[in-house]
């Protein structure tokens, strides 16, 4: 099957040429990003339509989504994985309960989390693994150093950082090659110095929460916001979420509708 052309063309991320418009998978869980979705079959249809019909080749997930729920859904929906598909996951966050998130960056925990993600995804390697949050209680060099060791062992292909400042990117870069930075960016949070820093440093910038947790969808501005993000530079890759196939199609259609007006 030939997938339709997605807006804005591809981006090189973790060594693969993938769609700049990716899919964030946090919404494929229960309320509070806790437990399974109300309809797991619908969540599986979202994943399959995104990859096999809409041509999205960049999926973003985390072991904390559920926790563990979405990695398991991705395996059920998409394995064997197409060669063109990049699955990015994140480790370094624990979930005491619904809507509760705590960073945990102890090296032994990060190693165990990576091993568990490999099992859930039924994969020999995580193509792109982000440090979900920097744990202030653990030296940064110990956190990224453990991920680097897992990279040496072949269990991680590329290492990214999530929700970080320019200073933190600089500090981590003394220990690892930062393959991607994932920060929140939307109309309510438009000014992130890391976006320009990543442009200069040639680091892909993955914009999470691009629709402000759905607020811009209800306002009918999803296409405007996603197009604005895509226009910030070829290094920017938004990852909006979708909880149903119709929602996914509406997001992609909104961007395609505005694409002719975007400068080339």
Q: Which residues are catalytic?
A: 65
The answer to whether 140 touches 103, Cβ cutoff 8 Å, is no
| Separation of alpha carbons 168 and 148, rounded Å | 16
Reading the block at residue 34, the tokens are 């806790």
Give CA–CA dist 105/107, Å, rounded.
Answer: 6
């Amino acid at each position: 099957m030939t997938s339709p052309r997605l807006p804005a063309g591809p981006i090189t991320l973790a060594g693969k040429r993938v769609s700049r418009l990716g899919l964030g998978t946090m919404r494929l869980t229960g309320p509070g990003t806790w437990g399974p979705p109300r309809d797991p079959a619908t969540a599986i249809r979202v994943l399959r339509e995104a990859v096999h019909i809409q041509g999205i080749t960049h999926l973003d997930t985390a072991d904390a989504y559920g926790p563990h729920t979405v990695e398991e859904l991705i395996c059920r929906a998409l394995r064997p994985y197409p060669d063109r598909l990049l699955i990015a996951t994140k480790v370094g966050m624990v979930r005491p309960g619904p809507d509760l998130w705590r960073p945990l960056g102890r090296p032994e925990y990060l190693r165990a989390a990576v091993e568990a993600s490999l099992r859930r995804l039924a994969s020999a390697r995580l193509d792109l693994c982000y440090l979900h949050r920097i744990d202030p209680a653990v030296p940064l060099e110990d956190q990224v150093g453990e991920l680097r060791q897992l990279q040496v062992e072949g269990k991680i292909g590329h290492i990214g950082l999530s929700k970080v400042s320019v200073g933190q990117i600089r500090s981590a870069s003394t220990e690892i090659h930062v393959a991607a930075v994932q920060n929140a960016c939307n109309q309510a949070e438009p000014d992130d110095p890391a976006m320009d820093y990543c442009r200069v440093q040639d680091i892909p910038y993955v914009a999470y929460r691009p629709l402000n947790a759905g607020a811009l969808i209800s306002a009918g501005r999803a296409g405007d916001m996603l197009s604005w993000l895509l226009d910030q530079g070829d290094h920017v890759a938004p990852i909006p979420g979708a909880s149903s196939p119709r929602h996914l199609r509406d997001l992609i259609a909104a961007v395609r509708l505005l694409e002719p007006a975007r400068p080339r």
